[in-house]
Chains A and B, each alone.
Chain A
Amino acid sequence: MIDDDQAVLTLFSTALKKHGYDIVTAPDGKSGIEKAKTEKPDMILLDQVLPDIQGNEVLTTLKQDDATKSIPVAMLSNFGQTELVQKAINSGATDYILKYQIEPDELDTKIRDIVRIAQSQAGSEQPF
């Protein structure tokens, strides 16, 4: 989970730990990219507004790197404008989660859906 908001990190981590997740957190884009490469998580929750690099740029970097491009990424945001959602999806995000709408206990289901969608997309792109 890449987010500089400590409250979000704590709350979402607490909710996910209940469901048995191992969570690695990073407070900015740079360390987030590094941890994505070293930890190779099953999926990434990425805040759109980060202190060093824009969330969309982090997303593009992750999607261009062979080591991280297959990891599904869901953007986290407090902005719900259509153009921002579209931009994130176009940059390779699997989903766009509004922090103020999602209930912490819904995160587990949401993440499972995202991983499943990403896996099916990856499968459909495999050459026959």
Chain B
Amino acid sequence: MFVPILLLTAALIFSIAIFFYFVLNRKRGGQVLPQGKKLFPRLSHHEELKLISVISSLSDGLIVVDNKLNPWIVNTAARSFLGLTRENPNFYDIASPFPRNLNLAEKVKDAINYNRTTTLHEVQLGDRTFQVFIASIGDRNMTHFATKEGLYSLGASILLQDISTEKSLEKMKEDFAHVIIHELRAPVAAIKNSASLLIAGGISDDEKKKILEIIHTQSEKLLTQISYFLDAGRLEEGKLILNKTQGDIAKVVKEGVDLFLPEAKRKRITLTAEIGNDLPFFYFDNNRIVEAVNNLLSNSLKYTNDFGIVKITADTDDNYNATGSGNVVISVSDNGVGIPRQKQGLLFTKFSQVQKEVSAETQKASSGLGLYITKGIIEAHGGHISVNSTEGKGTIVTFTLPINSQADDASIQQVTSSSRPVN
């Protein structure tokens, strides 16, 4: 949709330009405008400025060359995409950044001489990916000038559309698909192999017991993963259901710490909790908040090295202390590996989180949906979640929960959660 509109815009601009050029300056036939002259001599200065301004401000790169390949227009975006620094770049400057095997000059000549339109898919210029459209420019029908000698083209346009973001999203989706495959395949494979071993026999009772335990834990893992994927789907559709009841947030935090103490002990990590006195009872979805707290503790422990420190704090904010209505603030901090600055903003988004975790064959695969779902849960409660991290030093994730004295209008809410990055 976006591409046709842009092409239409470009076509419209050229139609205007060609109209004034061709109709009002007809005697000059197919000649191009000499360098340094007004681009549109029959337009008033004001109109010309407006037209140039529109062309310049296009977010897509636009290059127009005459029929001798002399650049006529190179807009700001095109200059930036191609890294052009010279004020009046020549065609060589323009063509140089393109991969040689594309034969840009030939394709532009084909447009000029044979009115041939070319679309180049996924052209790599530096670290960005572009879709490139090459078309002839000429008469009012956007083809060629009709002169006594025959058809005559004014030149050609090269439109550069930056599709890097789309490509990157595509990659993230691919990674996400790989993660789903891994997360579902691993436990199913373990269950299948367990059954095979039990069927084949020839193993001791102790081994049998271990295998049965594997079947149990892998089944649980599989069920958890399926719940995650379903929750992520519900979040996307804005259909995460909350069952709010009056609950004890201090208990949720304490139980979270108790749950992860064995793992912390195994990694010799100091896991502590600081819970404010007199935390109020209020309405929240107990199971969902337990899930959120556990996700954060699990992540901190995962990304903190042996002998590190993980701490969870829970208290009311100043607003609650002053007015009686405010938030509970819960923070999970660690002195672990931290998150690179450029990845922090995307931490809670579904695909980016996955990208961080996976790259399919490279890093340890995990669904990476934990933080995405955690954010959805917190926002569904009307709270806010944020991250503060320094690579190599540690991470603090903080979320707020509004202290509701009632379960809102209904104890079951249908909510919409955004997937925008957290700042």
> Is the CB of A115 closer than 8 A to any CB of chain B?
no
Q: Can you list, as one digit per residue, whether each of A82-123 has a CB less than 8 Å from chain B (1) or not (0)?
A: 001001000000000001100111000000000000000000
Do B214 and A7 touch (CB < 8 A)?
yes
Interface contact A87-B197, CB-CB below 8 Å: no
Q: Are B182 and A49 interface neighbours, CB within 8 A?
A: yes
Is the C-beta of B128 less than 8 angstroms from some C-beta in chain A?
no
Q: How far is the CB of B308 from chain A (nearest CB, A)?
A: 15
A12, A87, A104: most-surrounded residue (chain B CB, <10 A): A104
- Let me know if B192 and A10 touch, CB within 8 A: no
Is B363 interfacial (CB-CB < 8 Å)? yes
Q: Is B156 an interface residue (CB 8 A)?
A: no
Cβ contact of A14, chosen from B182, B211, B362, cutoff 8 A: B211
In contact, B202 and A18 (Cβ under 8 angstroms): yes
Assembled-state Cα–Cα distance A77/B363 (Å): 12
Determine whether A65 belongs to the interface, using a CB cutoff of 8 Å to chain B: no
Residues on A with C-beta less than 8 A from B217 are 7
CA distance A30 to B5 in the complex (A): 54
Contact between chains at A100 and B189 (CB < 8 Å)? yes
Whether B163 is near chain A, meaning CB under 8 Å from some CB there, is no
Instruction: Flag whether A8 is at the interface (Cβ < 8 A).
Output: yes
Known A-B contacts A15-B197, A49-B364; the reply to A100 vs B214 at CB < 8 A is no
Interchain Cβ contacts within 8 Å, total number: 77
Contacts of A56 in B (CB 8 A): 361
A50 surroundings in chain B (CB, below 8 A): 364
Chain B residue nearest to A57 in the complex (CB): B362
Interface residues of A in 5-21 (CB under 8 A from B): 5, 7-8, 10-12, 14-15, 18
* A38→B304 CA distance, assembly (Å): 29
Q: Using C-beta atoms within 8 Å of the partner chain, give the interface range for chain B.
A: 20 to 34
> What CA separation (Å) do A57 and B364 show in the bound complex?
13
Which residue on chain A has the smallest CB distance to residue B183?
Answer: A78
Question: Chain B nearest CB: distance from A59 CB in Å?
Answer: 12
- Is the Cβ of B362 less than 8 Å from the Cβ of A54? yes
| B189, B192, B203, B360: the one within 8 Å of A79 (CB) | B360
B361 touches A79 (CB 8 A): yes
Chain B window 256-270, contacts with chain A (Cβ cutoff 8 Å), 1 for yes, 0 for no: 000000000000000
Query: Which residue of chain B lies nearest to A84 when distances are taken between CB atoms in the complex?
Result: B361
Instruction: Check if B190 sits within 8 Å of A11, measured CB to CB.
Output: yes
Closest to B188 in A: A100
| CB neighbours of B210 from chain A (8 A) | 10, 14
Pick from B178, B197, B362, B364: contact of A104, CB below 8 A. B197
B200–A4 touching, CB < 8 Å: no
Encode contact with A along B176-204: 1 for CB under 8 Å, 0 otherwise. 00100110011111101110110010110
Please, which residues of chain A bring their CB within 8 A of the CB of B202?
18
Verify A49–B193 contact, CB threshold 8 A: no
Q: Are A84 and B360 in contact (CB under 8 A)?
A: yes
B189 neighbours in A (Cβ, 8 Å): 78, 99-100
Please report which residues of chain B, range 341-371, place their CB below 8 angstroms from some CB of chain A when the two chains form the complex. Answer: 360-365
Q: A15-B197, A78-B181, A105-B200 are in contact. Are A10 and B364 (CB under 8 A)?
A: no
Residues of B within 8 A of A12 (CB): 193
For window 43-76 of A, CB contacts with B under 8 Å fall at: 48-51, 54-56
Nearest-CB residue, chain B, relative to A105: B200
A92 shortest CB reach to chain B, Å: 16
B118 within 8 A of A: no
Cβ contacts under 8 Å, A79 to chain B = 178, 181-182, 360-361
Q: Tell me the bound Cα distance from A14 to B178 in angstroms.
A: 29
**B218 touches A (CB below 8 Å):** yes
In the complex, are the beta carbons of B214 and A11 less than 8 A apart? yes
Q: How far is the CA of A55 from the CA of B202 in the complex (A)?
A: 32
In the complex, A78→B187 CA distance in Å? 10
Complexed CA–CA distance, A121 and B383 (Å)? 62
Q: Closest CB-CB distance, B59 to chain A, in whole Å? A: 34
Are A54's CB and B211's CB within 8 A?
no
State the CA gap A5–B218 with chains docked (Å): 11
Contacts of B182 in A (CB 8 A): 49, 78-79
- Say whether B190 contacts A8, CB under 8 Å: yes
Q: Is B255 an interface residue (CB 8 A)?
A: no
Residues on A with beta carbons closer than 8 Å to the beta carbon of B193: 11-12, 15, 99, 103-104
**CB nearest to B200 among chain A residues:** A105
Nearest CB in chain B: distance from A29 CB, A: 11
* Nearest B residue (CB) for A101: B189
Residues of A with Cβ closer than 8 Å to B?
A: 4-5, 7-8, 10-12, 14-15, 18, 48-51, 54-56, 77-79, 81, 84, 87, 99-100, 103-105
Apart from A14-B203, A84-B361, A105-B197, what 8 extra A-B contacts exist at CB < 8 Å?
Answer: A14-B207, A18-B202, A54-B362, A54-B363, A55-B361, A78-B185, A81-B360, A84-B360
A and B contact pairs by CB, cutoff 8 A, 15 listed: A14-B203, A14-B207, A14-B210, A48-B361, A49-B363, A49-B364, A56-B361, A78-B185, A78-B186, A79-B181, A81-B360, A99-B193, A104-B200, A105-B196, A105-B200
